[in-house]
Amino acid sequence: MDPTREAELLMTRRQLFGNTTLGIGTAALSRLLTVGGLGSIAGLAEAFGEQGRHGIPGIPNFAPKAKRVIFLFMSGGPSQLDLWDFKPKLAELFNTDLPDSVRRGQRVTTMTSGQTRFPIAPSKYKFKQYDNGSDGIFVSELLPHTASVVKELCVVKSMWTEAINHDPATTFIQTGSQIPGRPSMGSWLSYGLGSLNDNLPTYIVLHSKVSSNKPNQAVYPRLWGSGFLPSEYQGVAFRSQGDAVLYLKDPEGMDRETRRVMLDNVEALNHQALGHFGDPEIAARIKQYELAYQLQASVPDLMDLSKETQETFDLYGKEAHEPGTFAANCLLARRMVQKGVRFIQIFHRGWDLHNNLTGDLPSQTKDVDQACAALIKDLKRTGLLDETLVVWAGEFGRTVYCQGPLSADNYGRDHHPRAFTIWMAGGGVKPGMVYGNTDDFGYNIVDKDGKIIDPSVEDFTPGAVHVHDLQATILNQLGIDHTKLTYHYQGRDFRLTDVHGHVVKDLLK
């Protein structure tokens, strides 16, 4: 739209709505969350009168199955062999060497490359078969609650990644590149699809407390950053200590009325400046100050769990009462979904069990198991599961061979990028599904006949799911052709899936 016209329009609206209190004016203004962040206020008219902020033209490319995503990220690399990928034959191979025919010269990290042996460590945990509505699925005794919702889950046992260490692998699954600088998945969605709500961020990140006192892998803003996209699309990390959103609270000694008067003055001064300079950017700033005022009310309301029922707390477990636990975060995620947050990313750390795995893994699963199941059930009973895609994944899996001392009761496992397990639920993926197979060692991806598959990055390999394939599939559920959500930067159209990625249609309803 013509910028002069935009400015005029805005002025008219201001006169319509007045500028003083929380009347219709601010409510309407608040719909314009972050419109025109880059200096223009293009799209303002479209955004007006309708909830949320628009994405980019042409996106979604087709009718979406899911509107929202909750990504439960298990940072550190959970052991698929002790949780999902049941390998009963390994029991007899305890402490025998991993055959070369299995390892096939594939690289290992420098934490175990110096080991003289690669002795097999069978899982200590019992697996039980559960009815998932199709062929059944074995689940470890460590995940009793998750096992109770397997009818809703689409479990992928043949995920693989290219990176072998945490930092690159985590950056890869979050941003589609091992090297920092690319936008995270949530930023891409925020950019492409826009917002579903009036007064909350589009992309929210939650960090969870970890019960075990093991050192944890770091997670950091680049994992939810906007890379080369404008920074308004970055994830907003909500905090469980202090203000949920940085600098949300007014200082002590300033009440809401005083803030209102102060903001009214700021607005009046800005209007005078708008009159003087005629810069539409001033109009945009006026709007942002009003939205900030709105956020100060909407965020505390979102974080307030006091109105949740006992039944709900029973579902998530008593930890949900404690802010910052994974359980509390899952409950918050459900609330955010209800309020139209597009992408919610929950981080849980501490899965990097190189040694004393059996000492620490139970505490990890205890942190997340009940809440994962509760989230699925809660979304289901509130009718949100169909339109919400839930993803549970780490950055890679763990080796069948032991790192460090090995006994029947305890062992450690190194990073394993060649095959690991993730699950999805809701959002148009097939419930009760198990996709992909691994060999008897959980080391390589195999086809139906047990033949090793060497998946390629270049082409889709049926039976194997590359990180870019997962990303393409998630985007697909949101109505996006992953090759079409692009951003022109440094002479190239970049996308989340780089130049790869295929939608894994077998996973979809």
Partner 1 sequence: MKRSIPFFGLCISVFAYALAGHQAPTSSPKLVNFDRDVLPILSQHCYKCHGPDATKAAAGLRLDSFSSVAIAKGSPEKSLLIHRVSDKNPGSRMPPEDSGVKPLKPNEIAIISQWIKQGAQYEKHWSYIPPTMPKMPVVKNLTWSKNPMDRFVLAKLEGTNLKPEPEADKDTLALRASQVLTGLPPSPAELDEFRRDSKPGSYERYVDQLMAKPSYGEHQARYWLDAVRYSDTHGLQLDNERGVYPYRDWVVRSLNQDLPFKNFIEWQLAGDLLPNPTTEQRVATGYVRMNLTSNEGGAIADEFLARNTFDRVDTTSTVMLGLTVQCAKCHDHKYDPIKQKDYYGLYAFFNSTKDEPLDGNITLPPPFIRASTPEQEARLVAMTSKLMELRQSVDLSKAAAQITAQKVAIPTTKGWQISPVYAEKSFDEAFDRAEAPESNTGATVPWKPFDFEVGKDFANIVKIDNASVYVRGTVVMPTAQTFSFGVSTDDAVKVWLNGKLIHSHKIGRALNSEVDRVVGEFKAGENELLVKIINGSSIDGLNIRLFDPNTKVLMDALAAHQKSPNTEKSKIDLATAFLELGPSSDSSAEYRTLIKERTAFEGSIPMSLVAEEMPKPRPAFILKRGDYLQKGDMVQRHIPDVLGSIPAGTKIDRLGFAQWLTSPANPLVNRVFVNRIWQQYFGTAIVKTTDDFGSQGEWPQNQPLLDFLAVSFAQNGGSMKKLNRMIVTSATFRQSSQITKEKLTKDPENRLISRGPRFRMDAEVIRDKALYSGGILVQQLGGRGFKPYQPDGLWEGASDPASSTHIYEQDHGMAIYRRSMYLFWKRTAPPPSMLLLDAPLRDTCVVRRSTTNTPLQALTTENEPAFLEASRTMAQRILSQRSDDAGRLKFAYELTVARAPKPAESELLMKGLAYYRKKYLADPASAKKLISIGEAPVAKGISASEQASWMIICSTLMNTDEFLTIH
In the region spanning residues 445 to 474, those forming contacts with partner 1, defined by CB under 8 A, are: 457
The residue whose two tokens read 């509130």 is 382
Nearer to partner 1, 60 or 168 (CB): 168
Nearer to partner 1, 97 or 264 (CB): 264
Nearer to partner 1, 241 or 309 (CB): 241
CB of 254 to partner 1, least distance (A): 6
Report the amino acid identity of residue 274. L
- Which range touches partner 1 (CB under 8 A), out of 43-51, 179-187, 364-372, 420-428? 179-187
- Per-residue contact flags (x/-) with partner 1 for residues 65 to 104, judged by CB under 8 A: ----------------------------------------
CA 224 to chain centre: 9
49-78 CB burial, b ≥16 within 10 A, e <16: eeebbebeeebbbeebbbbbbbbbbbbbbb
* CB neighbours of residue 124 within 10 Å: 16
CB of 481 to partner 1, least distance (A): 9
Report the amino acid identity of residue 423. W
Nearer to partner 1, 59 or 379 (CB): 59
Of the candidates 77, 84, 33, 80, the one whose C-alpha atom is nearest the C-alpha of residue 54 is 33
Told to check if 219 binds partner 1 by CB under 8 A, we report yes
Q: Looking at 4, 51, 96, 382, which residue binds partner 1 (CB under 8 A)? A: 4
Nearer to partner 1, 251 or 383 (CB): 251
> Cα Rg for the chain, rounded, in angstroms?
25
User: Within 157-176, which residues bind partner 1 (CB under 8 A)?
Assistant: 164-167
- Which range touches partner 1 (CB under 8 A), out of 127-135, 267-275, 311-319, 392-400? 267-275
Measured CA to CA, the distance from residue 230 to residue 218 in angstroms comes to: 25
Told to check if 502 binds partner 1 by CB under 8 A, we report no
Told to check if 251 binds partner 1 by CB under 8 A, we report yes
Report the amino acid identity of residue 487. Y
Angle of helix 326-338 relative to helix 357-381, nearest 10 degrees, comes to 20
CB of 506 to partner 1, least distance (A): 22
Give the count of residues interacting with partner 1 (CB under 8 A): 92
Torsion of CA 494, 184, 83, 151, to 10 degrees: -90
Report the amino acid identity of residue 406. L
Measured CA to CA, the distance from residue 125 to residue 123 in angstroms comes to: 5
User: Within 347-386, which residues bind partner 1 (CB under 8 A)?
Assistant: 354
14 Cβ neighbours under 8 A, 6+ residues apart:
25, 271, 286
Nearer to partner 1, 117 or 256 (CB): 256
Told to check if 217 binds partner 1 by CB under 8 A, we report yes
Report the amino acid identity of residue 206. L
* Distance set, CA 190 to CA 181, 251, 312, 419, 425 (Å): 17, 31, 29, 30, 21
Q: Looking at 24, 46, 96, 220, which residue binds partner 1 (CB under 8 A)? A: 220
319, 325 Cβ separation under 8 angstroms: yes
CB of 330 to partner 1, least distance (A): 18
Nearer to partner 1, 65 or 354 (CB): 354
Measured CA to CA, the distance from residue 227 to residue 225 in angstroms comes to: 6
Q: Looking at 18, 23, 136, 278, which residue binds partner 1 (CB under 8 A)? A: 278
User: Within 227-246, which residues bind partner 1 (CB under 8 A)?
Assistant: 229-232, 236, 239, 241-243, 245-246
Told to check if 504 binds partner 1 by CB under 8 A, we report no
- Per-residue contact flags (x/-) with partner 1 for residues 181 to 210, judged by CB under 8 A: x-------------------------x---
- Per-residue contact flags (x/-) with partner 1 for residues 392 to 431, judged by CB under 8 A: ----------------------xx----------------
Q: Where are the alpha helices (DSSP H) in 179-229?
A: 185-193
- Give the pair of three-digit tokens for residue 158: 């043949």
Measured CA to CA, the distance from residue 286 to residue 96 in angstroms comes to: 69
CB of 192 to partner 1, least distance (A): 16
CB of 263 to partner 1, least distance (A): 8
Q: Is the peptide bond before 230 cis (omega within 30 degrees of 0)?
A: no
Name the DSSP class of 54. Answer: B
203, 165 Cβ separation under 8 angstroms: no
User: Within 311-330, which residues bind partner 1 (CB under 8 A)?
Assistant: none
CA 165 to chain centre: 20
Q: Looking at 15, 16, 24, 39, which residue binds partner 1 (CB under 8 A)? A: 39
CB of 307 to partner 1, least distance (A): 25
Q: Looking at 253, 306, 307, 448, which residue binds partner 1 (CB under 8 A)? A: 253
- Which range touches partner 1 (CB under 8 A), out of 37-45, 418-426, 447-455, 459-467? 37-45
User: Within 287-306, which residues bind partner 1 (CB under 8 A)?
Assistant: 288-289, 291-292, 294-296
- Give the pair of three-digit tokens for residue 271: 């209007």
